[in-house]
Amino acid sequence: MSAEGENVIFIGKKSVMNYVLAVLLQFDVGNKVVVLKARGKAISKAVDVAQIVKRRLLGGKVEVTSCKIDTEEVGEPPRKVSTIEIVLEQTA
Amino acid sequence: MSAEGENVIFIGKKSVMNYVLAVLLQFDVGNKVVVLKARGKAISKAVDVAQIVKRRLLGGKVEVTSCKIDTEEVGEPPRKVSTIEIVLEQTA
């Protein structure tokens, strides 16, 4: 799990730009670290969000400092689903 | 890019189990490192492949040692696409 004081955004069914905005807002209020979490098909979207923030919007000021993949059990009966956790950190 | 001697599997439109088999074959012929690469929507599938190999089939014998995300330009006109590179390494 994430350390204290970090801000976690769960990537779901909204549009990519929706989550990009959420990340920017987190940095805007002074957070140095934003964590993106996603499961299943939303994993690709989480990577898109991270890359758009990094390349287009906060180029040079934000880096991906960690990218972890894992498996979770969800639903009934339980079903294994892949997860990703991407850590974005402000560097300047 | 990946170091020499590593084996790269590009995750595309085939089924997850197809790629899982490809990874197992690479380990079976003696490779210690297998690299999964994927773009766009196939990113989730690459994570699934890595997790299935790690958890279900070679549990305890294979670890995800690196997970990098990046952006590539593809097509005409060029369009930015997110990419992922997952490194699986045999530990025992």
Contact B82 A47 (CB under 8 A): yes
Segment A14-56, tens digit of pLDDT:
999 999 999 999 998 989 999 999 999 999 999 999 999 998 8
Domains and CATH numbers, chain B: 8-90 (3.30.110.20)
Choosing among B16, B43, B70, which should be mutated to test the A contact, i.e. which has the most A CBs within 10 A? B43
The edge-to-edge listing of strands for the beta sheet with B62-74 is: B7-11, B33-39, B79-90, B62-74
Per-residue pLDDT of chain B (92 residues; tens, 9 = 90+): 444 456 999 999 999 999 999 999 999 898 999 999 999 999 999 999 999 999 887 777 899 999 999 999 988 898 999 999 999 999 87
Choosing among B51, B56, B62, B68, which should be mutated to test the A contact, i.e. which has the most A CBs within 10 A? B51
Q: What is the DSSP string of B38-75?
A: EETTHHHHHHHHHHIIIIIISTTTEEEEEEEEEEEEET
Segment A67-77, tens digit of pLDDT:
999 999 988 89
The pLDDT value recorded for residue B92 is 73
